[in-house]
C-alpha cells in the first residue's frame, strides 16, 4: 500500500511576547541609567599614551584651568583626611571656622577649593545652588611670597602622614606657565618631588613596543 504523506506545515512562532520583553528591558535601562555628571571644572588636558588608571583612593588633585587658576581637592573616599586638612588650615591660619563649615569641606562631593584663605569661610557657607553660579578666583600661587598652595600641601602631607598620598596635577592645555611654576614651587616647599599628570589617554602608535604590549594582552611579544 502506498504510504500516506503527511502534509508539511511551516512552524509559526508568536513573537508578541518577545517584543513585550524587549520593550520592558529597554524601558528599565532608560529609567535606571545614570548619566555622568558634568565636571565641576572644565579642563582640556593634553593627550598622552598611558596605561595607568587614575587612583581614586588617597588622591589629592591640583587642578589648573586655562586662566591659570589653581584649585585643591581631596578624594571623597578620604573624609577623615579631609577633616584633618581643614582642621590644620583653620588652626594655622586662625580662620575661626565653625564645625558646620568644616563639615561642609569634608562632606561636599567633588568639591574644589579655589579661593584664598580670606574667602574660605564665605565659600564654605555657599549652598549647592550658589556653588554652581560661583566664580572662584583660584588659590593664589603666582607670588612665591604669598603662595597659599604651600599651606594646603603642608596640610595634606600632615593628614596623609603614614599613608601613601596619590598626588595628581591636572592642567589645561592653555594654562599659563607662571601658575604652573607656582604649583611646582608649592610641591618643592613641602619636599614633594613625585606626582602624576592627569592627561587625556590615546592609543599607542601602531608598531611601537607599547602597542605590541597592549595588543598582546599585556605581554610584550617576542620577535
- The answer to whether the CB of 207 falls within 8 A of the CB of 49 is no
What mean pLDDT is reported for the chain?
79
What average pLDDT does the segment 23-46 reach?
Answer: 62
Q: For the whole model, what pTM was predicted?
A: 0.69
Q: Please report which confidence band the pLDDT of residue 61 belongs to, taking 50, 70 and 90 as the band edges.
A: very high
For residue 162, pLDDT over 80 is answered with: yes
* pLDDT for res 216: 65
Q: Please report which confidence band the pLDDT of residue 188 belongs to, taking 50, 70 and 90 as the band edges.
A: very high
Greater pLDDT, 192 or 208: 192
Amino acid at each position: 500500500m502506498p504510504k500516506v504523506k503527511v502534509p508539511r506545515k511551516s512552524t509559526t512562532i508568536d513573537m508578541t511576547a518577545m517584543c513585550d520583553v524587549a520593550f520592558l528591558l529597554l524601558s528599565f535601562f532608560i529609567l535606571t541609567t545614570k548619566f555622568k555628571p558634568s565636571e565641576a571644572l572644565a579642563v582640556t588636558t593634553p593627550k598622552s599614551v598611558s596605561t595607568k588608571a587614575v587612583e581614586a583612593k588617597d588622591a589629592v588633585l591640583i587642578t589648573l584651568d586655562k586662566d591659570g587658576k589653581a584649585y585643591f581637592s581631596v578624594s571623597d573616599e578620604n573624609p577623615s583626611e579631609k577633616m584633618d586638612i581643614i582642621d590644620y588650615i583653620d588652626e594655622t591660619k586662625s580662620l575661626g571656622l565653625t564645625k558646620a563649615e568644616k563639615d561642609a569641606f569634608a562632606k561636599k562631593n567633588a568639591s574644589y577649593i579655589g579661593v584664598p584663605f580670606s574667602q574660605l569661610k564665605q565659600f564654605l557657607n555657599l549652598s549647592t545652588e550658589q556653588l554652581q553660579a560661583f566664580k572662584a578666583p583660584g588659590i593664589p600661587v603666582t607670588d612665591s611670597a604669598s603662595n597659599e598652595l604651600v599651606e594646603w600641601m603642608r596640610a595634606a602631607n600632615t593628614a596623609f602622614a603614614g599613608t601613601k598620598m596619590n598626588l595628581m596635577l591636572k592642567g589645561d592645555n592653555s594654562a599659563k606657565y607662571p601658575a604652573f611654576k607656582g604649583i611646582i614651587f608649592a610641591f618643592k616647599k613641602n619636599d614633594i618631588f613625585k606626582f602624576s599628570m592627569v592627561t587625556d589617554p590615546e592609543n599607542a602608535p601602531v608598531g611601537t613596543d607599547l602597542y605590541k604590549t597592549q595588543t598582546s594582552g599585556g605581554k610584550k611579544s617576542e620577535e
